[in-house]
Amino acid sequence: MGTFGFKVEAVDGPARAGVARSGHGDFLTPAFMPVGTAGTVKGITTAELRVAGADIVLSNTYHLFLRPGHRVIGELGGLHRFMNWSGPILTDSGGFQAFSMADRVKMDDRGFEFSSILDGSRHLLSPELSMEIQAALGSDIVMVLDECPALPAPRKRLEEAVARTTAWARRCVESYDGPGVLFGIVQGGTCMDLRERSAAELQEIGFPGYAVGGVAVGEPEDQIAGIAGRTAALLPEDKPRYLMGVGRPQDLVEAVARGLDMFDCVMPTRNARNGTLFTSRGKVNIKRAGHQRDPSPLDPECDCEACTKYSRAYLRHLFMSNEILGHRLHTIHNLTFYLRLMRRMRAAIFEGRFEAFRREFMSSPAVGVEP
Amino acid sequence: MGTFGFKVEAVDGPARAGVARSGHGDFLTPAFMPVGTAGTVKGITTAELRVAGADIVLSNTYHLFLRPGHRVIGELGGLHRFMNWSGPILTDSGGFQAFSMADRVKMDDRGFEFSSILDGSRHLLSPELSMEIQAALGSDIVMVLDECPALPAPRKRLEEAVARTTAWARRCVESYDGPGVLFGIVQGGTCMDLRERSAAELQEIGFPGYAVGGVAVGEPEDQIAGIAGRTAALLPEDKPRYLMGVGRPQDLVEAVARGLDMFDCVMPTRNARNGTLFTSRGKVNIKRAGHQRDPSPLDPECDCEACTKYSRAYLRHLFMSNEILGHRLHTIHNLTFYLRLMRRMRAAIFEGRFEAFRREFMSSPAVGVEP
C-alpha cells in the first residue's frame, strides 16, 4: 500500500482548491484527468499532455487487462514506464467496461464474468482480480470494484448495488497489495438515503479518497450536479471527492461549486475525434462548410498548438480528409480548454470569487453552440 | 517566376553534395522530401518534420486540387501558410495521380480527363491547369505535367510519351505565372536513346532543375539505379537532378552514387502506418509477437522520439490497438531513419569516402530484414 496525502488549500463556499500527493508526484484540484484508455490518450504524447496542463491521467483496467495484459505491463516496469508518463495515474476497476462493453456478461457476488471482445476468451473480473491488475499496472490511485446500475433503476436494484459495492470494497482492501492507494465509490443512484448508507459504510472501512459513482448513467442531466453535490456533503472534508465520468464543461463548474475535486470524462477527447471542439465562443462543429475559407484561429482566446499555428480552414480540411493530424490537434485543443477551465476555477476559489466565476461562465457563450 | 539557385559543394565520383536556394530558404542535397499528400505528412506536425531533419517537403497537386481546392488555399495565402511550413515545397504535377487514382481517365494531347473519386465531378488536368493549381498553392518547385507510361511498354508508347512530355513542358513554361520555378521531367522508360532525346529536348527549353521520371513504375528493381544513373549523366552538372518516387534506402544510396540529388517516396511514411520500420538492424515488423515483452528501443542507434522514449513492447501495443500515436511515432522514426541516411551520405561525399560508405551500407544489416 502506497502513500497518499490531500490538503485543502482554500475554500469558497462548498468549492475547494487543494493539492494531492501521490506516489508519482502531486496534482492540483479541482483536477480533470484526461482518459488514456489503452495506455495512451488517443493521438497525443505525454509531453503534450503536460503542455496542455494535465498533471494526472486516467487509464482503463479492462482494456489493458485484455491487451497487452497486466502481466506484460508489470514485467516491463509498470504503466508509468510503459506509456512514458512520470506523473500520477488513476485506474478504474474495469467493472464498468466489463459490464457495458463485453459480450455475454454475467454479474453476481463473485464479480463480472464476460467474454473478451478481442478473442472470445472467458474471464471473471472479481474484486481480487481487479486489485491484481491495478497493482501490476502500478497505479497510484486504484478504484475499488463497484456495481453501477444504469438509471432509472428500481430501489431494490440500487439497494443491492450498494450492498455489493460495500462488500466488494472490503474484499478489495483485503486483497490489494501494490504501490498505490484505494478510493471507495459511493453508489445509491437517485436515492439519497441509499447514498447516505453507502457513504457511511465506506467511511467505516476508511479510504484516503472517495468517488461519487452512478452519476450520469441515465438520469436527467439537470440532476447530475445536485446528486453529486448532496453526495459530496456526505463525505469527509479532508479527503478528495472524485465525480466519475462527468462531463460537460458546465457540469464540472456546477460540481466544483458543490464540493467535488476530481473529474474524468472521454468527452473532450472523443468529441475532438468527432470534430466537436470546445471554445470560448461555444461548441464548434469543424465540419461546417462555413469554416472552409476561414483564416481565423479556432479560438482566439486559446494558446494551444491548434489555435496558434493553424486556421479553422486547415483544421476543417484535416477533418474532412480524415487526417490523423486533425484528431491530434483537436484533442490537444479540447484538453487545453478543459484543463484551462480547471485552473481558472482553482484561481477563482483562491481569490474567493468562485460564485461570480460560476455565474459568468454559466452565462457565457462557452456553454452553448457557436452561432 | 521565382528564383532558384543550386551549387554543387563537393563531388566524390559521380556523387554530389550541394545546396539549393528556393523562395522559401535553402535545402541541402542529397535531399529526401517527405510526402505530405493532402497538405500534411500523415500524423506529424511540421515542427516534427524539422526535428526529423527535413528541410523540404513534397505535396500532391491532385489531392489538394480536389480537396480543399487550390483556390481556397490560394485565398488563404498559399500552402506554406495553410500547413504551417516555412521551408521549401515541391509539388508534383497531379498527372500521375489523375492517371492512376481517378475514375474513368482519358488521356490525350489536352491532358488527363478524369472523374473525382470524391464526388464524381469531371475535370481536365491540362498543362495549363496544373500550372494554375501549383501557382495558387505557391510551390517553390513546380513540376511540369508529363506522361509516365507504366513499364514494360512498347517503344512506340514510350516515344509518344517523350514527345507529349516535351510538348507539355513547353506549354507549362508558357503558361506558368507564379512564385516558384519549374523542373522538367525526363521520360523514355527503359530506352536510353529515348531518354537522351527527352533530356536534350528539355535542355533546349531550359529548366533550373531536371527530374528523372518513369523510374520504378514496373521495371525490375535492379534496373532502377542503372537507368537513373545513365539518365543523370545526360543532365547538366550545375542543376539538381531529382529521381521521382524512389525508393528503398538502398535505392537512394545507389542513386546518389550515380549523381542523383533529390528524392521523394511514400515508403517511409506508408510503411510506418503498416508497422514496417527501418532500423540499423534491418526492417522490423512491429506486429511480431516477439516484440510483445521487449523493453528495448526500436533502434538503439536512433535518437528519435519513438526510440528514446518508448519500448518495442509499447510500440507494438499501440500498433495492435490501432492507436493513432503508433502511426505517429512510427512515421517520425522512419523519416528520421531516411533523413539521417541522407545526412550521412552528404558527409561521406564531403569527406571523399562515399564509395566506402556505399559498400558499408549495402552490406550492413540495415538493407535486410531484422532476424
From residue A245, alpha-carbon distances to A115, A132, A242, A334, B23 in Å are: 24, 23, 9, 16, 51
Chain A residues touching residue B68 (CB < 8 angstroms): 292, 313, 316-317, 320
- Contact call for B314 and A42, based on CB within 8 A: no
User: Closest to B328 (Cβ–Cβ): which among A68, A75, A324?
Assistant: A324
Q: DSSP letter at A266?
A: S
Chain B residues touching residue A116 (CB < 8 angstroms): none
Q: Which of the residues B35, B40, B64, B116 would you substitute to probe the A interface, choosing the one with the greatest number of A C-beta atoms within 10 Å? A: B40
Three-state helix/strand/coil letters over A79-134:
HHHHHCCCCCEEECCCHHHHHHHCEEEEEECCEEEEECCCCCCEEEECHHHHHHHH
pLDDT higher than 80, residue A1: no
CA proximity to A240, closest of A9, A41, A57 = A9
CB B327 within 8 A of CB A324: yes
| CB contact A21 to B (< 8 Å) | no
pLDDT higher than 80, residue A369: yes
From residue B74, alpha-carbon distances to A313, A318, B45, B63 in Å are: 12, 17, 21, 15
Closest Cα in chain B to A308: B84
- Positive or negative: CA dihedral B95, B99, B105, B106: positive
Percent of chain A surpassing pLDDT 70: 100
The C-alpha cell at B364 is 550492413
The residues pairing with B30 across neighbouring beta strands, listed in sequence order, are none
CA distance A110 to A128: 9
- Contact call for A320 and B292, based on CB within 8 A: no
Three-state helix/strand/coil letters over B248-274:
CHHHHHHHHHCCCCEEECCHHHHHHHC
**Least confident stretch, A117-121, A352-356, B172-176:** A117-121
Give residue-wise pLDDT tens across range A250-276. 999 999 999 999 999 999 999 999 999
- Contact call for B45 and A83, based on CB within 8 A: no
Q: Please confirm, yes or no, whether A303 is among the known catalytic residues.
A: no
Predicted confidence at residue B94, as pLDDT, reads 96
Give residue-wise pLDDT tens across range A294-323. 999 999 999 999 999 999 999 999 999 999
User: Closest to B321 (Cβ–Cβ): which among A38, A295, A311?
Assistant: A38
Query: Which one is catalytic: B12, B92, B140, B261?
Result: B92
| Torsion angle, alpha carbons of B303, B304, B310, B315, to 10 | -130
CA distance B296 to B230: 43
CA distance B210 to B195: 12
Give residue-wise pLDDT tens across range B293-347. 999 999 999 999 999 999 999 999 999 999 999 999 999 999 999 999 999 999 9
Give the distance from residue A313's alpha carbon to the nearest chain B alpha carbon, in angstroms.
8
CA distance B243 to B207: 15
Give residue-wise pLDDT tens across range A7-39. 999 999 999 999 999 999 999 999 999 999 999
Provide the ipTM: 0.96
Give residue-wise pLDDT tens across range B64-112. 999 999 999 999 999 999 999 999 999 999 999 988 887 789 999 999 9
**How would you class B371 by CB atoms within 10 Å of its CB: exposed for 0-12, middle for 13-18, buried for 19 or more?**
exposed
Chain A residues touching residue B313 (CB < 8 angstroms): 68, 72, 76, 82
CA proximity to A308, closest of A318, A317, A298, A316 = A298
- Contact call for B40 and A318, based on CB within 8 A: yes
pLDDT higher than 80, residue B62: yes
**CATH for the B5-265 domain, from 3.40.630.30, 3.20.20.105, 3.30.870.10, 3.40.980.10:** 3.20.20.105
Predicted confidence at residue B126, as pLDDT, reads 98
Break chain B into its structural domains and give their ranges.
Answer: 5-265, 266-371
* Residue with more model confidence, A100 or A195: A195
Three-class DSSP category at A324: helix
Place of cell 542535397: B29
Q: Please confirm, yes or no, whether B264 is among the known catalytic residues.
A: yes
Confidence of residue A2 (pLDDT cuts 50, 70, 90): confident
The C-alpha cell at B124 is 481536365
Q: Which of the residues A35, A37, A40 would you substitute to probe the B interface, choosing the one with the greatest number of B C-beta atoms within 10 Å? A: A40
How many other β-carbons are positioned within 10 Å of the β-carbon of residue B85?
A: 24
**What are φ and ψ of residue A27, in 5° steps?**
-140, 150
Give residue-wise pLDDT tens across range B248-280. 999 999 999 999 999 999 999 999 999 999 999
Alpha helices in B176-260 (DSSP H): 192-205, 224-232, 249-257
The residues pairing with B262 across neighbouring beta strands, listed in sequence order, are B31, B242
CA distance B352 to B30: 15
CA distance A285 to A316: 9
- Residue burial A254-278, b: 16+ Cβ < 10 Å; e: rest: bbbbbbbbbbbbbbbbebbbebbbb
**What are φ and ψ of residue A277, in 5° steps?**
-120, 135
Chain A residues touching residue B309 (CB < 8 angstroms): 45, 84
CA distance A164 to A184: 13
- Tell me the whole-structure pTM to 2 decimals: 0.96
Confidence of residue A222 (pLDDT cuts 50, 70, 90): confident
Place of cell 459504510: A201
Kindly give, in sequence order, each residue whose CB lies less than 8 Å from that of residue B119, ignoring residues fewer than 6 positions away: none
Predicted confidence at residue B101, as pLDDT, reads 83
Chain A residues touching residue B65 (CB < 8 angstroms): none
**Mean pLDDT in residue range B182-201:** 97
- Positive or negative: CA dihedral B186, B187, B189, B193: negative
**Mean pLDDT in residue range B188-214:** 97
CA distance B362 to B338: 15
Give residue-wise pLDDT tens across range A98-147. 888 877 899 999 999 999 989 999 999 999 999 999 999 999 999 999 99
How do strand A15-22 and strand B122-125 relate by DSSP bridges? unpaired
CA proximity to A128, closest of A81, A173, A184, A179 = A173
Predicted confidence at residue A115, as pLDDT, reads 93
